[in-house]
A = this chain, B = another copy of it.
Amino acid sequence: MRPGPTALAAKVRTMAPSMTRSMQRVAEAVAGDPAGCAQLTVTGLAERTGTSEATVVRTSRLLGYPGYRDLRLALAGLAAQQESGAAPAVTADIAVDDPMPDVVAKLALDEQQTLADTAAALDVAQVEAAVAAMVSARRVDVYGVGASGLVSQDLAQKLLRIGMVAHSHADPHLAVTNAVQMQAGDVAVAITHSGRTVDVIEPLRVAFDQGATTIAITGRPDGEVAQYADHVLTTSTARESELRPAAMSSRTSQLLVVDCLFIGVAQRTYETAAPALSASYEALAHRHSPRPRGR
Show the binding face of A for B, using Cβ within 8 Å: 4-6, 20, 38, 72-74, 76-81, 83-84, 86, 94, 96-98, 100-101, 103-105, 107-108, 111-112, 115-116, 118-119, 122, 124, 127-128, 131, 146-147, 150, 153-154, 157-158, 194, 196-199, 201, 222-224, 242-245, 248, 251-252, 255-256, 259-260, 263-264, 266-267, 270, 274, 277, 281, 284, 287-292, 295
Contact A80 B78 (CB under 8 A): yes
Contact B122 A115 (CB under 8 A): no
Contact B289 A201 (CB under 8 A): yes
A115 to B238, CA, bound (A): 16
A18 to B214, CA, bound (A): 44
- Residues of B near A194 (CB, < 8 A) are 288
Q: How far is the CB of A121 from chain B (nearest CB, A)?
A: 10
Q: Interface SS of chain A: helix, strand, loop or mixed?
A: helix
Contact A105 B84 (CB under 8 A): no
Contact B147 A157 (CB under 8 A): yes
Q: Known contacts A108-B118, A196-B289; is A252 also within 8 Å of B251 by CB?
A: no
- Residues of B near A104 (CB, < 8 A) are 119, 122, 124, 127, 260
Q: How far is the CB of A236 from chain B (nearest CB, A)?
A: 11
Contact A243 B256 (CB under 8 A): no
Given contacts A104-B124, A252-B252, 15 further A-B contacts (CB under 8 A): A5-B80, A72-B73, A77-B77, A78-B80, A84-B84, A100-B124, A100-B131, A100-B264, A101-B124, A103-B267, A104-B260, A108-B115, A112-B112, A150-B157, A255-B255
Q: How far is the CB of A170 from chain B (nearest CB, A)?
A: 10
Contact B289 A263 (CB under 8 A): no
Q: How far is the CB of A232 from chain B (nearest CB, A)?
A: 16
Q: Known contacts A100-B124, A146-B284, A150-B153; is A222 also within 8 Å of B76 by CB?
A: no
Contact A84 B86 (CB under 8 A): yes
Q: Known contacts A105-B119, A107-B259, A256-B108; is A100 also within 8 Å of B81 by CB?
A: no
Contact B256 A255 (CB under 8 A): no
- Residues of B near A244 (CB, < 8 A) are 263
Q: Which of B73, B103, B243, B263 makes the CB contact (< 8 A) with A103?
A: B263
A97 to B223, CA, bound (A): 34
- Residues of B near A224 (CB, < 8 A) are 289
Contact B267 A96 (CB under 8 A): yes
A72 closest partner in B (C-beta): B73
